[in-house]
Structure 1
């Protein structure tokens, strides 16, 4: 097929229309990579403060350098793919440049077109770079998001018990909605959630340090929390005893007072032997009310983790413009991976608990009335134990 008439002329006009600031910013010979990149950011009016690395990327230079070293082999082999994608200084993108562009896409949530305009690059270049970064991290950084080893789990239990005294607790679970603009695609109604918004759900289990330990995404917003849990691999592993099967004898309790390992979830989840939820009946006794209070204070770790996830990786906040529903789960997963890497590196830019734990603004609390008989007995045992030692716990 012959090229469209006028295509070359339009291409030359587009090149002449490249932002002047982007064309005029050569990288300094030698010198630090960040110096040159900060000048490009300033020239493209990307940020009011482009001199501070952490304010731009929301991570330390140490973490950034680790990401570059982690995936440098993949990006070096694929450099040829980007020979036509250049900054205004006409330099082929190095590993640092590509990682920086991908991180800016994830941290700012700006459109591909908007970021491309700031650097004098077309939006397809930004998309390709970001996707190569995501693919590389999926392959190279998977070890940063995994279920704890027995040694790690012992530490996690101790940290959870230190929060509000709950013994043998191994994690906390919750879900959050990633909003998407409406789509005219077939079966698009399946993505409509209970608040009549198009969304994809992320289910996450975190430890006491707000590190993601198990994540499931890709399910449409029309499914409730309980349904998503039951379709997950984590649920199947727990049901057959491959996870959360350890037991602990409660100190100071009558003989045989043993509790199984468990995670905590809110009222939207079923009460299961390995999943402790709060009491929901009316007229709670003081002991049950105190258990609910301690329970709610402990699961703040997962609420905080999800709030931080959306705040740090703005690509997950707000409505995504007709995202690829096959790629979005992988983007969500990589944002969780990046969060864990920052925790593992004790990155000071990570911060602690967010001022607000509301990661699903506008969504009403879901409720499940499913309760396993054995699980109810274990929760009562925990409630009695917490009531007995309550005076020695943090308020």
Structure 2
């Protein structure tokens, strides 16, 4: 993040980081932001970051939590958002691999965490590690439009999608008429959500569809790579699940902020700001069967296939 963007970030959240105390030695907003960014950008143990800044590890812990909460409360819904000019976004996606009508690409990512005290088995993912399952949507320039960090690692990507605000909003009415989101084979076929085709791989038209689909969907993989490169703390968060979810959202927000800054335009907000799953709730593990696509979704996919044949 450039010095200019750091100053802009400090102007945005600095007033909310001021300590309401008359005691001496309280960290200034700039010091708090420096400590929090240092930890987010390296993921080191608290005492290592504390030694670098001349503060106690408990101060680092409290400071990081404070900055994460302020960033999420003030900036998340202003920065992790859909663009206003969707036709322009569709054109950018088309230039990547000539897949028509794409307004975004979606993928899930498992963020490793320490084993939680409550409901520990639910957080064991398919690799046998403890994690939370996060869903991201990004645009053609790898700018994040949506993030959900509501579910433990054992939950299937399709269930994360089905229980998201994104799914409910697009199922009710596509907010971008005729636009589609591309996802991998874990996601169901919908009029607005297009996974790869597997019915007849020997069909040249379907091969072209899958090839262009894969070429376009690589954007989200690159975006997640950038996010985790900027914030190595996401390689393993040694915190409880709810806090881990907040850190993921904070890092996503800061990743966007580092690229464009703050935009105050009114936009439709679909982000979820709270975990659906409480740590003390009973968790039902499920492995959902693949949804049977409705006829309208099949016809929509056929329309896209025909466009590629022209």
> TM-score by structure 2 length?
0.86
Counterpart contact for 2:200–2:206, Cα < 8 Å: no
Give per-residue Cα distances to partners, 1:359-380, cap 9 Å, x unaligned: xxxxxxx994643322222212
Match of residue 200 from structure 1: 132
Unmatched runs of 5 consecutive residues or more in structure 1: 1-58, 85-91, 247-259, 347-365, 389-395
Match of residue 329 from structure 1: 245
Counterpart contact for 1:200–1:219, Cα < 8 Å: yes
Match of residue 72 from structure 1: 14
Match of residue 94 from structure 1: 28
Supply the distance in 1 between the matched residues of 2:209 and 2:305 (Cα, whole angstroms): 6
Give per-residue Cα distances to partners, 1:11-51, cap 9 Å, x unaligned: xxxxxxxxxxxxxxxxxxxxxxxxxxxxxxxxxxxxxxxxx
Structure 1 residue 387: deviation in Å? 2.5
Counterpart contact for 2:92–2:140, Cα < 8 Å: yes
Spell out the pairing of 1:172-183 with structure 2 (5 A cutoff): 172-183=105-116
Instruction: Say if 1:188 and 1:112 are closer, same or farther in 2 by CA, change over 3 A.
Output: same
Match of residue 233 from structure 1: 165
Match of residue 144 from structure 1: 79
Matched, 1:212 2:212: no
SS in 1 for 2:169: helix
Match of residue 380 from structure 1: 302
Match of residue 209 from structure 2: 291
Counterpart contact for 2:15–2:29, Cα < 8 Å: no
Match of residue 42 from structure 1: none
Structure 1 residue 232: deviation in Å? 0.5
Match of residue 132 from structure 1: 66
* Structure of higher RCO (CA pairs closer than 8 Å, 6+ residues apart): 2
Spell out the pairing of 1:338-357 with structure 2 (5 A cutoff): 338-345=254-261
- State the structure with more CA Rg: 1
Give per-residue Cα distances to partners, 1:57-94, cap 9 Å, x unaligned: xx111111111111121123x2639844xxxxxxx533
Supply the distance in 2 between the matched residues of 1:155 and 1:282 (Cα, whole angstroms): 33
Instruction: Say if 1:240 and 1:156 are closer, same or farther in 2 by CA, change over 3 A.
Output: same
Counterpart contact for 1:75–1:95, Cα < 8 Å: yes
SS in 2 for 1:263: strand
Counterpart contact for 1:266–1:277, Cα < 8 Å: yes
Counterpart contact for 2:8–2:261, Cα < 8 Å: no
Counterpart contact for 1:108–1:314, Cα < 8 Å: yes
Match of residue 90 from structure 2: 157
Supply the distance in 1 between the matched residues of 2:69 and 2:118 (Cα, whole angstroms): 28
Match of residue 119 from structure 1: 53
Structure 1 residue 194: deviation in Å? 1.3
Structure 1 residue 289: deviation in Å? 0.3
Instruction: Say if 1:82 and 1:301 are closer, same or farther in 2 by CA, change over 3 A.
Output: farther
Supply the distance in 2 between the matched residues of 1:216 and 1:210 (Cα, whole angstroms): 17
Matched, 1:320 2:242: no
Counterpart contact for 1:291–1:387, Cα < 8 Å: no
Unmatched runs of 5 consecutive residues or more in structure 2: 263-287
Supply the distance in 2 between the matched residues of 1:105 and 1:139 (Cα, whole angstroms): 20
How many residue pairs get aligned? The number is 284
Counterpart contact for 1:265–1:276, Cα < 8 Å: yes
SS in 2 for 1:217: strand
Higher deviation after alignment, 118-127 or 191-200: 118-127
Supply the distance in 1 between the matched residues of 2:292 and 2:233 (Cα, whole angstroms): 35
